[in-house]
Structure 1
């Protein structure tokens, strides 16, 4: 009777890389047919890319630089704005595959790489613009460098580690979780201990990379740090157990129920030094964000970086459980295939008469209506107080010839547009656009006259919009 040949682990790793390539090709191939508008944050990140800087109101600058590079190669069409994100997720998946291969061998490496590429959160992040995407790539590279430095001293890997941390901080300040988790890992896992020289080199490189962003914050009222603190919002200090439950439950949605359950089961293997290392690089992040969720709420993606080490541990657990592994992949791949298809009918897919993806449709229609009103009124300047309206006005009407400004405000600006593009004083009238409310004129200012009022029947905002013909004297009574 012939004996069954054992599976070739090298072949399993290659299959994992092929799976990453296949799912990435699926995502990129369908991008040109995406019928969703740019989401408010997407349009804002594009606009930042038109004005390159070392920092922006609510985020560090890397996402804007990436979009600017892509649109310079191609155009300002949504395809080129979105293209870098599925490609970065593919690069993260490949990097994580090599991390897992170094720890557990090529078979687990293939599972981990394909597993990351098919995570539900990655499927969504390949369609929307998120600072988490470059952050995860930087975090994965930092993990690989950390493992290499734990094995032997290396100036090259030390520079790579510092560069990954510094670039990660330019993507999102959540990269600060890496040195925190790395310090804990060094206490519990010898493989995570790196030479003092290498740690010093990495710290210096990271500081040199992030220093210009620190300087930008210092010269801009600490805008990004101010916004980050506002998001954390620890002022009330209450206990939100429902928020904690929602956050923890959301982690099953981020990774898929089978993979996250496998990670939790893997934590029982703490006698294995590799498990202790991966637990140290994931649990502290989950714990810190859980505290945030308990105090004032937290989005599920705020702990996204924890899922890199968590997925490697899950892959190691599922390697010997083929049925659970197949089930986990089946669930996650179904989401990966479905989400890009859903964007193809974003403007027509309805349930009970309501667009399923209404949050991602209708922004451009509002901007085109504003353009029509401005033309009818013979006005060349449009002003709004609303970040969502402004974000799409700047993108959709980028070639219209209209000058677009934020309503000027006193005190700390509420968003990027008020910070960098407030209406300047001067003569004449402007078209003020809002969600129904007239402008808040300063004392002595001349109020405007409503010239248009409409309510979209579907899309992101089925609420009233209004346009007012307003003299600049409304905001600059002494001008």
Structure 2
């Protein structure tokens, strides 16, 4: 009893600490782009949407209505639901394996990096995890005895999962397979009350099926066909590296030991049927996701997909850890604490402009959290200087959703963009009549995010925009974190202008390379051009200040790569300048370009770091 009480006290202290931390981060962290789109969906209430069933959007709307129009309000229902998950794991584990094991399983849930931060973001994984745990609990209880309460819990979980995400179909399939593999499960499936629960779960998919029937199966095609290559890709092996890091290595070992031991638990093990059930759920789902990883989408975030399976195994992991030597047990808990601290540290870094800027240029730079407030402020300033009734037009759904949230305007028009298709949002925007050929009457403020596409595709994208809106006037550049989040604002005239396509400037620094070690001086060289009008001058910036004026117009033919470029100065678009760094303090500095167009435009290019060593 004393051991169980200590485990309970540790769990409560951890739960309070983690929940407070999550609330602080959720209040400070800017909305992720997907969250902003879910908010937009919540402002256009419907039974289902192109990317998801309806629950996530409904929860964002509920949060805004209850707590107000800000990031914390949008996330509040998800925070509450996420805070309940460790209690649910503890409750399930306690029922079958005792209080000590149960509270320890809850503590593992609080510290495992994948689950520790669940609820900070307003994303569908939160209600999906909640639904998976309801079904997990109900299934274990039904294996012991079929009763109305357990059947009702199963129906609730199935309904909630159907309203959460397409991926919940996998949870259902694995759960059904686990029951079929167990003699007790097959007996359970013969009960009419279980089939009544399953019927409720099937009915809950009808809104999503109805949406797809009305929209040429756009959602199903995106989720099952368009987003996945369905061809072998060796990148699926990264699962074996990433998952142990995200779960922490020793806990990952314990999870798999729990799975293996659960397949053939010891005869003396209490509730060995339930253990085998948990092991089958966790093992089959995790193995299936690993195998699918060789054929499905690995470009976007998918590391959280095995989480429902991990929850099933966490229920019994304390039994495995209890057999480990004390040193290894303690080391497992220490690694968990460090992993949770790292997960929270990433979100705190993304929420801090100062810390986030230090990640600029790094592959872990949280671009989708960055720069939205400065952009919204610049848009407010531009609209104040433009005629009344000026409409905002966004270059992609990301810009439209984030600006829409910050301006409390869910109806910002969006230009066609491959990103809209890639994320399954085109059909939904079309239903709202917010995408397609951009309206050409009346003044408009066009907002583009150059980072929304690969650099090699950027010039083609600019030409596509020209085809939609006409030649682009000189832009206002809004740059955050040394240009690693960068926006271009264009005041479009009331009527489309005729003429050749004029685009923003393009540039590249050939030397020095990023993070170069410099002492006294260095030659800065590269190329820059601006389609339609050309450039008049290039200036070299150091830490945002003009440090030198480049000799522009040198021979540097880049038309072999930029074949569609129409800069009149080709092939003389090279530049060179001598940069003296002897007066700079030792340490890290930032090298940038300021590009002056012949049309009067002035555009600051993104910056690259260099080191000064004396």
1:116 Cα deviation after fit: 0.8
In structure 2, the residue corresponding to 1:305 is in which secondary structure? helix
Is the deviation greater in 287-296 or in 44-53?
Answer: 287-296
**TM-score normalised according to structure 2 size:** 0.68
1:228 Cα deviation after fit: 0.9
Query: Does residue 381 of structure 1 match 2:385?
Result: no
What CA distance in whole angstroms lies between the structure 1 residues aligned with 2:483 and 2:80? 28
The structure with more strand, counted as a fraction of residues: 2
Match of 1:301 in 2: 304
What CA distance in whole angstroms lies between the structure 1 residues aligned with 2:344 and 2:133? 25
Distance 1:19 1:456, change over 3 A: same
1:212 Cα deviation after fit: 2.1
Q: Is the Cα–Cα contact under 8 Å of residues 43 and 395 in structure 1 kept in the other structure?
A: yes
1:456 Cα deviation after fit: 1.0
Match of 1:394 in 2: 404
Match of 2:575 in 1: none
Q: How does 1:80-479 map to 2 (within 5 A)?
A: 80-193=73-186, 194-196=188-190, 197-230=192-225, 232-235=227-230, 237=231, 239-241=232-234, 243-269=235-261, 270-272=263-265, 273=272, 274-298=274-298, 299-321=302-324, 322-337=326-341, 339-340=343-344, 343=348, 346-349=352-355, 350-351=357-358, 358-359=366-367, 360-378=369-387, 380-398=390-408, 404-407=412-415, 414=426, 416-420=428-432, 421-422=434-435, 427-435=441-449, 437-438=461-462, 440=464, 447-454=470-477, 456-458=479-481, 461-463=484-486, 465-469=488-492
Q: Is the Cα–Cα contact under 8 Å of residues 22 and 117 in structure 2 kept in the other structure?
A: no
Residue deviations 1:378-397 (CA, integer Å, cap 9, x gap)? 25211123122112111112
1:41 Cα deviation after fit: 0.8
What CA distance in whole angstroms lies between the structure 2 residues aligned with 1:358 and 1:374? 28
What CA distance in whole angstroms lies between the structure 2 residues aligned with 1:426 and 1:244? 46
Distance 1:397 1:155, change over 3 A: same
1:470 Cα deviation after fit: 5.3
What CA distance in whole angstroms lies between the structure 2 residues aligned with 1:425 and 1:207? 42
What CA distance in whole angstroms lies between the structure 2 residues aligned with 1:43 and 1:362? 14
**TM-score normalised according to structure 1 size:** 0.85
Residue deviations 1:91-123 (CA, integer Å, cap 9, x gap)? 111111121122322211111111112221123
Q: CA RMSD in A?
A: 3.1
In structure 2, the residue corresponding to 1:431 is in which secondary structure? strand
1:433 Cα deviation after fit: 2.2
Match of 1:477 in 2: none
What CA distance in whole angstroms lies between the structure 1 residues aligned with 2:260 and 2:383? 64
Q: Is the Cα–Cα contact under 8 Å of residues 54 and 61 in structure 1 kept in the other structure?
A: yes
What CA distance in whole angstroms lies between the structure 2 residues aligned with 1:471 and 1:111? 65
Residue deviations 1:318-348 (CA, integer Å, cap 9, x gap)? 1333443332332223343455465276211
Is the deviation greater in 146-155 or in 250-259?
Answer: 250-259
Aligned length: 461
Q: Which runs of 5+ in 1 are unaligned?
A: 1-5, 475-479
Is the deviation greater in 412-421 or in 71-80?
Answer: 412-421
Distance 1:427 1:17, change over 3 A: same
Is the deviation greater in 330-339 or in 383-392?
Answer: 330-339
Q: Which has the larger radius of gyration?
A: 2
What CA distance in whole angstroms lies between the structure 2 residues aligned with 1:357 and 1:373? 28
Match of 2:579 in 1: none
What CA distance in whole angstroms lies between the structure 2 residues aligned with 1:459 and 1:171? 38
1:128 Cα deviation after fit: 2.3
In structure 1, the residue corresponding to 2:435 is in which secondary structure? coil
Tell me: higher relative CO, structure 1 or 2? Use CA pairs within 8 A at least 6 residues apart.
Answer: 1
1:134 Cα deviation after fit: 0.9
Is the deviation greater in 304-313 or in 217-226?
Answer: 217-226
Distance 1:83 1:328, change over 3 A: farther
Match of 2:526 in 1: none
What CA distance in whole angstroms lies between the structure 2 residues aligned with 1:52 and 1:375? 31
1:20 Cα deviation after fit: 2.4
What CA distance in whole angstroms lies between the structure 1 residues aligned with 2:154 and 2:97? 21
1:154 Cα deviation after fit: 1.0
Residue deviations 1:145-167 (CA, integer Å, cap 9, x gap)? 11111111212321220220121
In structure 1, the residue corresponding to 2:485 is in which secondary structure? coil
Q: Is the Cα–Cα contact under 8 Å of residues 67 and 76 in structure 2 kept in the other structure?
A: no
In structure 1, the residue corresponding to 2:108 is in which secondary structure? helix
What CA distance in whole angstroms lies between the structure 1 residues aligned with 2:428 and 2:239? 28
Match of 1:47 in 2: 40
Q: Is the Cα–Cα contact under 8 Å of residues 134 and 168 in structure 1 kept in the other structure?
A: yes
Distance 1:181 1:11, change over 3 A: same
1:431 Cα deviation after fit: 2.4
Distance 1:111 1:192, change over 3 A: farther
What CA distance in whole angstroms lies between the structure 1 residues aligned with 2:372 and 2:448? 13
What CA distance in whole angstroms lies between the structure 1 residues aligned with 2:312 and 2:46? 32
